[in-house]
Chain A
């Protein structure tokens, strides 16, 4: 029996792709990137998410920037913006910044770690589908790369009035940014769902 799949953006019925690792399968009608299988995608996801979870700690705790204006200095971490916004009663903005720069990147790393660990160890868990669904929905709300661009713009704005020094928190944050980019590249939803289906079928036998 031939196995079919459908394009998520135009619903074209397609034969299940036999894209080899390294290939990219696009929808012939709308050009949507259907999947791009990678070699060792699960192992790499596991390694990257573990590394990311380690880097989260210094990125959150160590000062990222230090400014000096007229002899007065001040340090800022990833959290100081959130706490300052809360002090000014801007709780909605504070919540949005907290979610997209701290909370969701952590949650996504934990989800990616849990999913890839269970697939790697071939341990079936009922919740793995729920993790996948959460990961897919929360993915775009973690905005580390946008935050990094925000740091650049803030530094440019400050360059006129202050001396700026970069701290270790910033280096850890840049590491986290790189890991996140690599992770997004490795985490192919299609490959992961297929592995999950295989795993759950084997479980039932």
Chain B
């Protein structure tokens, strides 16, 4: 089957902001919403790659350092992300432990690996199942914000449990690194243009 017509091949550019179709090479500013018009966010591939490399390098300290310190009746314990999950398993809260495992460890890793795969696919013009790669992009874009779960949980504990020696929770350095990973990977997903996956595919069916 012949490649179906994309807007760009027919000489149209879709405005990123409002969806208006604009004749290519006629204007730089969308007549409807006044935002800048560009056919593809090509130059953003470098930005996406830079964001992914930064988030990968922060993912390591986020998992090594303690994300919170819990004091209970004078005894102080430092928890890493994995330690927090282990504590939940110890409490027999397996579903919640699984939830935190997915949101805090698997999702950031999936995002970093997934966006790397998308970047490689576009850069090397791989002939792939574009639908599959688009679905991967969608999953990455959808799940990103749920990684904030651990940060919110810690902020709630830190605000609530402040009873001196009886019980107190303090956030650890990994919290900053982890929040940065979430924000950077969200920006990375946002900066990637999924239409680039389709552009270099020779056949569609």
Residues of A within 8 A of B (CB): 4-6, 8-13, 29-32, 65, 67, 69-70, 72, 74, 76-77, 79-85, 88, 90, 92-94, 96-97, 100-101, 129, 132-133, 136, 140-141, 143, 146-147, 149-154, 156-162, 189-190, 193, 196-197, 200
Known A30-B134, A157-B88; judge A83-B159 contact (CB<8 A).
yes
B60 at the interface (CB under 8 A from A): no
Count residues of chain B with CB under 8 A from any CB of chain A: 69
B166 to chain A: closest CB distance in Å? 6
Q: Are the C-beta atoms of A153 and B161 separated by less than 8 Å?
A: no
Residues of A near B199 (CB, < 8 A) are: 11
From B72, B137, B159, B204, give the contact of A76 (CB < 8 A): B159
Residues of A near B161 (CB, < 8 A) are: 67, 69, 74, 158, 162
A196 and B180 CA atoms in complex are apart in Å by 36
B109 at the interface (CB under 8 A from A): no
- A-B pairs with beta carbons under 8 Å apart, 27 shown: A9-B138, A11-B6, A12-B6, A29-B198, A30-B131, A32-B134, A67-B160, A80-B160, A81-B155, A81-B160, A82-B159, A84-B155, A84-B159, A85-B158, A90-B175, A97-B152, A129-B18, A133-B33, A146-B148, A149-B152, A150-B150, A153-B100, A153-B153, A156-B88, A156-B93, A157-B87, A157-B88
Known A146-B149, A154-B156; judge A9-B19 contact (CB<8 A).
no
Q: Are the C-beta atoms of B134 and A70 separated by less than 8 Å?
A: no
A16 to chain B: closest residue by CB: B21
B134 to chain A: closest CB distance in Å? 5
A92 and B158 CA atoms in complex are apart in Å by 15
Residues of B near A200 (CB, < 8 A) are: 32
- Of all A-B residue pairs in the complex, the 4 with the closest CB atoms, nearest first, are A150-B152, A80-B159, A81-B155, A81-B159
A58 and B6 CA atoms in complex are apart in Å by 49
Q: Are the C-beta atoms of B156 and A156 separated by less than 8 Å?
A: no
B126 at the interface (CB under 8 A from A): no
A175 and B198 CA atoms in complex are apart in Å by 41
Q: Are the C-beta atoms of A9 and B158 separated by less than 8 Å?
A: no
Mask of B115-145 contacts with A, CB within 8 angstroms, 1/0: 0000000000000001100110110000011
- The prevalent SS among residues of B at the interface is helix
B147 to chain A: closest CB distance in Å? 8
Q: Are the C-beta atoms of A81 and B156 separated by less than 8 Å?
A: yes
Q: Are the C-beta atoms of A81 and B130 separated by less than 8 Å?
A: no
A17 to chain B: closest CB distance in Å? 12
Q: Are the C-beta atoms of B151 and A96 separated by less than 8 Å?
A: yes
Known A92-B179, A153-B100; judge A10-B152 contact (CB<8 A).
no
- The prevalent SS among residues of A at the interface is helix
B202 at the interface (CB under 8 A from A): no
B157 at the interface (CB under 8 A from A): yes
Q: Are the C-beta atoms of B91 and A160 separated by less than 8 Å?
A: yes
14 further A-B contacts with Cβ under 8 Å, apart from A10-B197, A141-B186, A160-B91, are A5-B14, A81-B158, A88-B171, A90-B176, A92-B176, A93-B155, A97-B152, A129-B34, A132-B33, A140-B190, A146-B146, A146-B148, A161-B72, A189-B19
B163 at the interface (CB under 8 A from A): yes
* Residue from A31, A93, A161, A196 with most neighbouring chain B CB atoms (10 Å): A93
B72 to chain A: closest residue by CB: A161
B13 to chain A: closest residue by CB: A6
B10 at the interface (CB under 8 A from A): yes
B90 to chain A: closest CB distance in Å? 9
A151 and B151 CA atoms in complex are apart in Å by 11
Q: Are the C-beta atoms of B158 and A88 separated by less than 8 Å?
A: yes
B167 at the interface (CB under 8 A from A): yes
Residues of A near B150 (CB, < 8 A) are: 150
Residues of A near B151 (CB, < 8 A) are: 93, 96-97, 150
B53 to chain A: closest CB distance in Å? 20
